[in-house]
Copies of this chain bind each other. A is one copy, B any other.
Amino acid sequence: MQKIINDPVYGFITISHPLIFDIIAHRYFQRLRRIHQMALAYLVYPGAVHTRLHHALGAYHLMTIALEELKNKGVDITPDEVVAAQAAILLHDVGHGPFSHALEGQLINGMSHEQMSLMMMQQMNQEMDGKLSLAIKIFSNQYEKKFLHQMVSGQIDVDRMDYLNRDSFFTGVSEGVIGYHRILKMLTVHNGTLMIEEKGIYSIEKFLVSRRQMYWQVYLHKTVVSAEVMLVNILKRVRVLNQQHVTGLHTGGVLDYFLFEQQTSTKGEKLVELFYLLDDNDCLFAIKQWARHKDEVLQQLCNRLLNRVLLKIKLQATPFAPSVITEKRLEAQQTLHLGEKEAEYFVFTGVSDNTMYKMNDNNINILFKDGSVRDIAGIDNPLIHQTISATIKKYYLCSLS
């Protein structure tokens, strides 16, 4: 049996293996419908309301094409490995919490979303009688065919290919569109490692430039940054108030647990089941409740986020002078009749950064026709050469005006 899913980005996504059906039908996977892929970017790009579930399906689709291409080139990949790699990519982000990266580290103490993904996969694996064992091996890079893991997580993995494309598509920022089809056709495996054929260099160039552009135009767009830090500040404020035994903060939902209780005591299956109940809706519901809370700071932040009255934000290449920050805070204290500490929720500084290409173990390697292999950063190419791996930092200052 075969199932076809309409996808505006790729046309159709085809599902044919029973295990893939079961994963998609699983409540942990379905939960991803309730998590925005791009957190609060929709406050700037109204189309960017797509979900983590959609991204997972898209990455699965690219994985399917990529594996097919590699098999056509003679790379040895068994049917079991195909399904395992598909399962691994479907579940690679299953552990993302509400608003994905925007709240990473805010709700689940000391646990990255990758670790949570792994816990959820292990839980699912139990329910599915071990059918996910190979997928988990690939996901956690324990499998001997390293290229399978590189396709799930690396500098040119299908995860990135899908999110760049999908995020471009839904934001309408055409600068981010990548020629994913061509890149997939240029993939190859050499010495057990994923590589790009020589004639794919321009596509990789384009991929890196697109990624860079998406970072600055979208992911680190100053208004998006402002909104997402406001969201973080809301949770901070709630926790501070709770420590001061202020009432009216509980929502009745599972968010209460993640905000106010000791998570260290909960483990494994129980934590995962609580986490399964947690999604963007809990936060939005809470923000609407808190928008009517008596605490002025909390109420203000919530109403502002709800009604898109965001803090003003300025960017510059160097850190902001303490005097500038102080001045803005004094201004906020006066305007909103706040204490010094409270003003910090409305006036704060931070830094965004992005590196076009990271020099590390997961290099993008080019396989030349003569059989030689070179890192893309090392090839004789004035666009990529030298500049490619520099990290760009932008300092920001949020304030009322």
A: residues with CB less than 8 A from B are 2, 4-9, 11-12, 16, 25, 27, 30, 33-34, 42-43, 45-47, 49-51, 53-54, 57, 72, 169-175, 177, 179, 181-182, 185, 202-203, 205-206, 209, 212-213, 216-217, 251-254, 277, 281-282, 284-285, 288-289, 306-309, 317, 356, 380, 382-383, 385-387, 390, 392
The answer to whether B170 and A175 have CB atoms under 8 Å apart is no
Residues of chain B contacted by A383 (CB below 8 angstroms): 209, 212, 356, 383, 387
**Nearest CB on B from A385, distance (A):** 7
In the bound complex, CA of A324 to CA of B2 (Å): 29
**Stoichiometry, copies per complex:** 4
In the bound assembly, the distance between CA atoms of A4 and B181 in angstroms comes to 11
Cross-chain contact of A205 among B213, B307, B392 (Cβ < 8 A):
B213
CB < 8 Å neighbour of A385 from B4, B16, B317, B387: B387
CA distance A296 to B172 in the complex (A): 45
Q: Is the CB of B171 within 8 A of A8?
A: yes
- Report chain B residues within 8 Å CB of A386: 387
**CA gap between A113 and B339 in the complex, in Å:** 44
CA distance A282 to B286 in the complex (A): 10
Contacts A/B (CB < 8 Å), 16 sampled? A2-B72, A8-B172, A12-B182, A33-B46, A49-B51, A174-B179, A175-B182, A175-B206, A205-B213, A206-B209, A209-B383, A253-B288, A281-B281, A282-B288, A285-B285, A382-B387
